[in-house]
Structure 1
């Protein structure tokens, strides 16, 4: 039988399982020449290892910078959320809460347009603008949302609550609930002329926190 030719895999496995090979043949370490990915020139094994180490360090630096950037962004968002929440705590009259919530949402988070409607409010607030205009379709939609909707303006009834419905290219629809699994008693809509600001498939964790805080604050106008 003809002997099987030695493959590159055989050589690699031999070197892996024979760590003292280069101790016995130390001169090879200086003699081995590799092709550098930077210009295609021949470099020694040590120089190639140094290049690979520099590349790994550069990659780790990029990852660290990315983590720092995300950390700074999260800190800024948390600070805005705190200021928004604080303004709602300072509202003395419950009837003023919806207007303050919307105005501060626009100011703190640079939201071009925002609006909300509530239902099942206390009788004393039933005639307020924020308690008027929510259609059965809107109520059904809010009740069906387990997480905020993000995506294009698909002609939802709630878009009509905005000052300039035609300028709403992308939307976030946030249901308002008394509890995590309770029935919806309102809907908060955020809109932008930028079609990419609220995209389908984007993470909604932050919007969910917005909904929880808004729901808690607006509980003051309910029965």
Structure 2
């Protein structure tokens, strides 16, 4: 490149300087409107060239389409959440209507299967009042499971890796994914020791995926815990006096 060529290139403004100038002098296009009319750009929907106005219209239509899809997704998620909330409410009302506390564990698991279409569900409760000791829902719980339940401050979801609570389910070989919900007094995230565990199993490996949200499962665990608190020693003693 000779000196004259270098000098010519040096006189050509950069794209940045042109953009800066146009940003500072917007009336430039008012004085030179014919430039905008003559601008031709490649279309995003083909290889043909379109005017600047057409290109802007295409971009605007694409933006509107994206917003419409986001709105539809928000409406769909809202409808799904409302349906789940209604199911939890109905299940909770069913638990509240149980008169004999001995029927609560069965009502919890059967309600989950019927209301939430959970293929399999099982429950174990420990440290119960004497009238409930020796019931099926108190058996087959090792010290390791109790310690594991107490260590959980949120539902565990993931593949079936042979966790001991899986054996509480009727069809163990069918379980590909599961959710383990600790039962304790107060919020699920509290440090209080667990007094039970609820296990949900599914043949679908993605039904209880490790990446899924656990907000509704947390609500289920806390509401089940509140209902089953009637079987705890103090509540159990009160119930005996009222029977």
* TM bucket, shorter chain: over 0.9
Partner residue in 1 for 2:224: 214
Q: Is the 8 A contact 1:137 1:157 kept in 2?
A: no
Partner residue in 2 for 1:201: 211
- Greater Cα shift, 98-107 or 199-208: 199-208
Q: Is the 8 A contact 1:125 1:221 kept in 2?
A: yes
Q: Is the 8 A contact 1:174 1:188 kept in 2?
A: yes
Asked if 1:81 corresponds to 2:91, the answer is no
Which SS does the other structure have where 2:47 is aligned? Answer: coil
Partner residue in 1 for 2:157: 150
Partner residue in 2 for 1:174: 181
1:27-80 CA deviation, whole Å, 9 max, x = no partner?
112111111111121111111111111111111100100000000100110111
CA RMSD of aligned residues (A): 1.2
| Structure 1 outlier segments of 4+, above 6 Å | none
Alignment of structure 1 residues 5-16 onto 2, 5 Å: 5-16=12-23
Structure 2: segments with no counterpart, 5+ residues? 1-5, 234-243
Asked if 1:121 corresponds to 2:131, the answer is no
Displacement of 1:10 after TM fit?
Answer: 2.2
Higher Cα Rg, which structure: 2
Partner residue in 1 for 2:76: 69
Displacement of 1:159 after TM fit?
Answer: 0.7
Q: Is the 8 A contact 1:169 1:192 kept in 2?
A: yes
Question: Taking structure 1 as reference, are residues 186 and 18 closer, same or farther at Cα in structure 2, changes over 3 Å only?
Answer: same
Q: Structure 1 CA distance, aligned partners of 2:79 and 2:90?
A: 17
Question: Taking structure 1 as reference, are residues 20 and 163 closer, same or farther at Cα in structure 2, changes over 3 Å only?
Answer: same
Q: Structure 1 CA distance, aligned partners of 2:141 and 2:78?
A: 39
Partner residue in 2 for 1:91: 98
Displacement of 1:4 after TM fit?
Answer: 6.1
Asked if 1:32 corresponds to 2:39, the answer is yes
**Pairing partner for 1:107 from 107, 111, 114:** 114
Question: Taking structure 1 as reference, are residues 42 and 159 closer, same or farther at Cα in structure 2, changes over 3 Å only?
Answer: same
**Pairing partner for 1:164 from 143, 167, 171:** 171
Q: Is the 8 A contact 1:174 1:211 kept in 2?
A: yes
**Pairing partner for 1:134 from 133, 141, 160:** 141
TM-score, normalising length: structure 1: 0.97
- Greater Cα shift, 17-26 or 5-14: 5-14
Which SS does the other structure have where 1:92 is aligned? Answer: coil
Which SS does the other structure have where 1:82 is aligned? Answer: helix
Which SS does the other structure have where 2:157 is aligned? Answer: strand
Structure 1: segments with no counterpart, 5+ residues? none
Which SS does the other structure have where 2:131 is aligned? Answer: helix
